[in-house]
Amino acid sequence: MNESPSPTTSSTESAPKSQKVIPFWRIFWLTFLVVSLAYAWYCFYAPSNHIAWADNVPAAQQQAAKTGKPMILVFTGQWCVPCRIMKRQVWADPQVTAAVNAEFIPVIVDVDDPESAPLLDRYQVGGPPVTIVTDPQGEPLRWRAGGIGKAEFLELIHPPSPAAADET
């Protein structure tokens, strides 16, 4: 009976294997948590920009009529991730800021505001983000639905001239 292997030796041999597996999963889940939190912060972080936004559309239309400048209507929402990405990649860009402040009356419209319902109906906006360039009277000239980058936005506000298209 003394010659049979004791049960304590087999349990001590398996213990180091389980101790090696547990730290791996702890590190894995901790890394997953940190990466997830960083990505969530990145999605919802939006730096401040220096665009002179108007939040009152009738006042912006009066100002556009006086100055003869077209308006840019930006339909957005607090919960809209593509809107946040645009705020970070488009609206915070110095070139975009300079062009918008110099040539347009920019208006930001919150789609969740009940007072914005007539505008949503007028421009047939289903959901944000939607960017519309209008004439001073508010008639749409060009628009883009969905998130757009800086290059596409600059093309929206400064479309290529037909003469340039004929030359190519």
Q: Any idea which residue has 């990466």 for tokens?
A: 35
Cβ-count burial 129-148 (b if 16+ within 10 Å, e if not): bbbbbbebebeeeebeeebb
Asked if the structure places residue 49 within a domain, the reply is no
Which of 5-14, 46-55, 79-88 bottoms out in mean pLDDT, i.e. has the lowest? 5-14
Note down the domain range covering 108: 57-160
Token digits of residue 152: 């596409």
The pTM (predicted TM-score) of the whole model is: 0.69
Number of domains in the chain: 2
Confidence of residue 26 (pLDDT cuts 50, 70, 90): confident
Token digits of residue 2: 């003394």
Do 106 and 62 lie in one domain? The reply is yes
